[in-house]
Chain A
Amino acid sequence: MEEKFKYTPQDFKSDQEVRWCPGCGDHFILNAVQKALPEVSHVLKYDMERYVFVSGIGCSSRFPYYVNTFGFHGIHGRASAIATGIKVANPKLSVWQITGDGDALAIGGNHFIHAVRRNIDINILLFNNEIYGLTKGQYSPTSKLGAITKTSPFGTVEHPFRPGELVIGAQGKFFARSLDVEVKLTSEIMVEAAKHDGTSVVEILQNCVIYNDRTHAAITDKENREDRVITLRHGEKMIFGKNRDKGLILSGLSLKVVTIGQGGFTMDDILTHDAYEPNPGVHMMLANMAFPDYPVAIGVIRNVKDSTYDDNVRDQVLEVMKSAKIKNMDELLNSGETWDV
C-alpha cells in the first residue's frame, strides 16, 4: 500500500493537446496545478478520483480538459454554482473551480460572491488578465480605469474590481495571490488552498500575450520583481526588496513602506503577517496594496477557519434524520390527517 496517494505531475496530464496561445500565462498555471496535486494527494491522502475540475467559459475554462481528473466544463459564469452542487452532492470530493476575471466577476459575479459568503469548501483559481481573451480583447471588470481595448477605444470609464477586496467584503475566509510566472509559489499556495476547509480564492495575475500583453509587467518583470512585490508568509515579517531591507508598518490607520535602518525604523517595527487573524482589517489593506504606492502582496493573505456550507448542509440533514419520526415515503404518505372510506 506504499504506492497509495503517491502521484507525479505526469499522472495529472490528460491526453488532450493544450491549445492556449504560445507564451500564455495559463501554461504556467497548469504546470503549477499538476505540480500541486501530487503534494495535495500526499498531504491530504486523496486518491486521484476525488478531484473534480469545474469551469465556466473563457480561455482559462478550457483547463478541465487538460487535467486527467473528473471535469465539468460549464456555461459562462456558472462554475461556482455547478461546483457548489457537486460538493454538496458529494462532500468527499476535492472540487476546483477554474475561472477568469470575466467569468467570475462579470457574468458570474453573483454566484462568485455567494459561494464565498457561504464558505462552501471549494478551491477557486481566478486567472486575472484584466481582459476578455477568448472573445478577442474587450475590457473586463478588472481592467484598469482608462484601459484601451476593442470595446473601449477611448479608454474605459469605469472603476475596476479588486478581487481581494471583493472576496473579503463577501466574508471570504481564504484569499491568496500569485503571479503566473511564480510557478513554485503558485503551487505552494494551491496546497494551502486545498488544506483550507471552506472557499479558497487564489487570484493569479496572468498575462494574456495576445490581447493584453505585459499588463502586469511592472510587477512581474524579473529585474524589478523583488522591489515591487512582497511575498507574505504567516508568522514572518513583512519585508521585501532586493536587499530585504524594506518593510511594512502600520502608520495611523494605513500601511506604510519603510526602509529598515532609515528614519529610526528597525526590524522590530515591521509587521508580522498573521493570516489566521479573523479581523479582516489588515488583510484588506494588504490585498489592496497596488504598485507604485505599495508592493503588490503575493502569498496567502487571509486564512481563517470557519464552518463550511457543505458540512452544515450534511450535518443538519443527519441531525434531523437521527430524530425523525418519518423514515420512508410510505410513512410520509400516511402521516398527518388521514381518514378511511
Chain B
Amino acid sequence: MSEQKQVLEIEEVVVRFSGDSGDGMQLTGTLFSDASALFGNSVSTFPDYPSEIRAPQGTIGGVSGFQVNIGSAKVNTPGDYCDVLVAMNPAALRANAKWVKAGGMIIVDSDTVNEKGLQRAGFKTDNPVEELKLQDYKVIFAPITTLTKESLKDSGLDNKSIVRSKNMFTLGMVYYIFSRPLNFTEKYFEIKFKKKPEIIEANKKVLRDGFNYAGNIHAIANTYHIPAATSIPKGKYRNINGNTATAWGLIAASEKSGLPLFCGSYPITPATEILIELAKRKDLGVKTLQVEDEIAGICTAIGASYAGNFAVTSTSGPGLSLKSEAMGLATITELPLVIVDVQRGGPSTGLPTKTEQSDLFQVLFGRNGECPMIVVAASTPSNCFDYAFYSGKLAMEHMTPVVLLTDGYIANGTEPWKIPSMKDFPAINPPIVPEGTEGYMPYARDEKRLARRWAFPGKKGIEHRVGGLEKDFIKGSVSHDPINHQKMTDIRAEKVKRVQEFIPQQEVIGDKEGDLLVIGWGGTYGHLLTAVQEMRKKGKKVSLCHFNYINPLPKNVHDIFGRYKKIIVCELNMGQFANYLRMNFQEFNYLQFNKVQGLPFTVVELVDKFNKVLEGK
C-alpha cells in the first residue's frame, strides 16, 4: 500500500509529453489539457510535431511533443520550460531534456532504454542521465511498456493494441502526480469507443493502473494540486484551437450576412484543419470544395463571390504565393473574399509544422500592380473566431478581399474559451443590388466606404461584366484611359485606408507613457503579455501595444508611439512589421527583437531582452 504522500498546492505547472510520432502524445496531451480545463484551470497548449507522419522509429526526427500550461490564474502561454517531462523513449528524452526546468521531474519508459533505443537516439553511452547531465533532476525510470502489457494481458486485445495503450498508462501516472480526477477521461473513452466496450474497459483499466502505479512508487514523493482558477470570468466555457475558431468565425459571418459560406481550398499544413472543420459543417449549409490546387481554391472562391456567396479560401505561405495573381483579380473586381493564411516557417516549403510570422510582407506587398489589401491578424487561439468574423464583415461591407493572418502556433494551440453568443455580434450588411434595379452601374460607389455594389447573376436587369482588365470608374466597361487608371488606383487605395473609420482604436496594455513600449502583432501576444506583466510586477515602466489590424493601421498609432522613451518591435521574422512601421511613421526609432527558429518566443528571453534595453545595453 502507498504511504501517505503530501499534497502540495501550486499555482501553475507546465507538463510536456513527448514520444515517437506514433506514440499518441498529441492525444495524451489533449486529454490531460481537457481534463484540467474541465476541472476549472486556465490552460494553454502547444503541440510541436514533426512534418513526417512516421519518421524512423526511435529517432530524434520522429519525436512529437505536446506542452501544456495549467494554472489557477489566467495563463497566456504554454510555458517556456516544463516542470514535468514525459519521455516515451530515449530520443524524446534527448530532444526535450533542454526544455525541463532545473531540477524538474522526468518520467521515462525504461523499457525503451536499451542498446538499440539509445543508439538510435544518438547516445554514445548507456547512461543517458549522465550524458545529458540530468543528475540533479528527478528522473523516474518506469517500465511503462511492461506494466501496460501486464495490465492488459487478460483484455483480449492483440499485442499491438496493448502496446499502443502505453500512453494511457503514462497519462494515469501524470493524473496521479497532479491529483486530476479520472472521470473526464473515462467519459471520453465511453463516447469515443461507444461500439467497442472491450476497448473502453481496457483503456479505463490501463489508465487506473498507471494512476495506482504512480501512487505506489517511492520515487514520487509528493503530489500537486492546482486549484481551479477563480479570477476567470464566470460563464460557460469550451476548449478551442485557432483553426477551429477561424472556421467557426467564418460561419458566424456567413450567418450574420445571410449569405451561404463557400470555401475553395487545397490541403496544406498547418491550415488544413480549417477546411476539415468547414467540411464537417454541411449541417449549417457550408459548401466546401477541395479543388485541384491552391489557385483553383481562390479562383472557385472568387467565382462563388461573384455569384453571391460569402467566399473564403484557406492556406499557408507557399499556397499564398500561388494565389497572388488571383488576389489581384479579387482586388480589381472588388469582390468580397477572405483569404486565411496560417503562417509557417519559410521560404519555400521551409518548416511546414513550425510557426513563424514571415508572410507579412507577402500579404502586404506580394502582388503585381498597385494592389492594396486589408490585412488582419488574430493573436490567440480563441480570438481567431472574432477576427475571422470581422474579416468577413469588412470584406462584405467594403467589397474587397481581406487577408486574415494566423500562424501555426495559435492555429494548433488550444485554450479555454468563454462561449460567446451570436446576439453580441453586429449585423453584416453587404451592399447587395436588388432585382430589377434600373441603371445599375458596376463601379458606382457609396461615399462612406467607397464600396461598389454587389450584383448577383440570376437577377433581372442588372447584367454586367467584371474582370481583370482595368474598368471605367462608373460603367465598368474596359478602359485603358490614363486618367481613369489613375482614378481607379487612387480609389482602391483610399477604399482600404477608409477602413480605419470602421476598426477600433489601438489599445495599450500598461501605462499610457513610460520607458519602453513593446510592440507585437498576431500570435506572439501571449508571450509578450506575460513578459510585460512580469516586468510591470517588478515596477518596470513597460507597456504592450499589440496589433490585430495591420492594414490599415488604427488611426491613433502615431499618438501612442510618441509617449515612450524606447520602442521595441518583437516578431518571429527578420523585422517585417518593424520595417512596415518605419515606412508609415519614420520619425520613431524602432529597436527590434527577432527570432526565426520555428518556435514561439520564450518569456525568459523576452524579459531578458527588455531588461537589457531598459539598462541601455
Once bound together, how far apart are the Cα atoms of A282 and B458, in whole Å?
Answer: 39
Contact B284 A329 (CB under 8 A): yes
Contact B419 A49 (CB under 8 A): no
Residue A64 is within 8 A (CB to CB) of chain B in the complex: yes
Contact A339 B295 (CB under 8 A): no
The residue that A333 contacts in the complex, of B260, B286, B306, B420, with Cβ under 8 A, is B420
Knowing A341-B234, A341-B235 are in contact, say whether A82-B302 is a contact too (CB < 8 A). yes
Q: Which of A32-40, A70-78, A138-146 has 4 or more CB atoms under 8 Å from chain B?
A: A70-78
Most A CB within 10 A of own CB, among B233, B286, B422:
B422
Q: Which of B32-40, B56-64, B538-546, B555-563 has 4 or more CB atoms under 8 Å from chain A?
A: B32-40
Contact B419 A72 (CB under 8 A): no
Main secondary structure of the interface of B (DSSP, over half): mixed
B409-428 CB contacts (< 8 Å) to partner A: 418-422
Contact A86 B306 (CB under 8 A): yes
B252-293 CB contacts (< 8 Å) to partner A: 252, 255, 260, 262, 264, 281-287, 289, 291-293
Contact A326 B304 (CB under 8 A): no
Kindly list chain B residues whose C-beta atoms are within 8 Å of the C-beta of A49.
457-463
Contact A72 B463 (CB under 8 A): no
Kindly list chain A residues whose C-beta atoms are within 8 Å of the C-beta of B293.
110
B220-255 vs A, CB cutoff 8 Å, 1 = contact: the mask equals 000000000100111111110000000010011001
Kindly list chain B residues whose C-beta atoms are within 8 Å of the C-beta of A317.
282, 285-287
Contact B304 A313 (CB under 8 A): no
- Nearest B residue to A111, CB-CB: B296
Contact A88 B300 (CB under 8 A): yes
Contact B478 A74 (CB under 8 A): no
- Nearest A residue to B461, CB-CB: A49
Q: Which of B395-403, B466-474, B515-523 has 4 or more CB atoms under 8 Å from chain A?
A: B466-474
Residue A316 is within 8 A (CB to CB) of chain B in the complex: yes
B436-492 CB contacts (< 8 Å) to partner A: 456-469, 477-478
Once bound together, how far apart are the Cα atoms of A68 and B239, in whole Å?
Answer: 52
- Nearest A residue to B286, CB-CB: A317
Once bound together, how far apart are the Cα atoms of A49 and B37, in whole Å?
Answer: 54
Contact A74 B300 (CB under 8 A): no
Most B CB within 10 A of own CB, among A74, A90, A329:
A329
Contact A83 B303 (CB under 8 A): yes
Kindly list chain A residues whose C-beta atoms are within 8 Å of the C-beta of B287.
88-89, 313, 317
Once bound together, how far apart are the Cα atoms of A88 and B306, in whole Å?
Answer: 12
The bracket for how many chain B residues form the interface is 35 or more
Kindly list chain B residues whose C-beta atoms are within 8 Å of the C-beta of A337.
34, 38, 238-239
Contact B469 A73 (CB under 8 A): yes
Kindly list chain B residues whose C-beta atoms are within 8 Å of the C-beta of A78.
295-296, 299, 326
Once bound together, how far apart are the Cα atoms of A248 and B466, in whole Å?
Answer: 47
Most A CB within 10 A of own CB, among B306, B464, B478:
B306
Once bound together, how far apart are the Cα atoms of A237 and B242, in whole Å?
Answer: 64
Residue A84 is within 8 A (CB to CB) of chain B in the complex: yes
- Nearest A residue to B465, CB-CB: A71
CB distance from B558 to the nearest CB of A (A): 38
Residue A48 is within 8 A (CB to CB) of chain B in the complex: yes
Kindly list chain A residues whose C-beta atoms are within 8 Å of the C-beta of B461.
49
Contact B419 A75 (CB under 8 A): no
Residue B217 is within 8 A (CB to CB) of chain A in the complex: no
Most B CB within 10 A of own CB, among A48, A90, A330:
A90
Residue A16 is within 8 A (CB to CB) of chain B in the complex: yes
- Pairs across A and B, CB under 8 Å, 16 listed: A54-B303, A64-B465, A65-B477, A71-B465, A73-B466, A73-B469, A78-B299, A81-B299, A82-B306, A84-B291, A111-B296, A332-B248, A339-B237, A340-B235, A340-B236, A341-B40
Listed from nearest, the 4 A-B pairs whose CB atoms lie closest are A85-B303, A73-B467, A324-B283, A81-B299
Where the two chains meet, the residues of B that have a C-beta atom closer than 8 Å to any C-beta of A are 34, 37-38, 40, 229, 232-239, 248, 251-252, 255, 260, 262, 264, 281-287, 289, 291-293, 295-296, 299-309, 311, 325-326, 328-329, 333, 418-422, 456-469, 477-478
**Given known contacts A82-B299, A86-B304, what 19 new A-B pairs fall within 8 Å (CB)?**
A64-B465, A70-B457, A71-B466, A73-B466, A73-B468, A73-B469, A81-B291, A81-B295, A82-B300, A90-B307, A90-B308, A321-B283, A328-B255, A328-B422, A330-B421, A333-B419, A334-B238, A339-B37, A340-B237
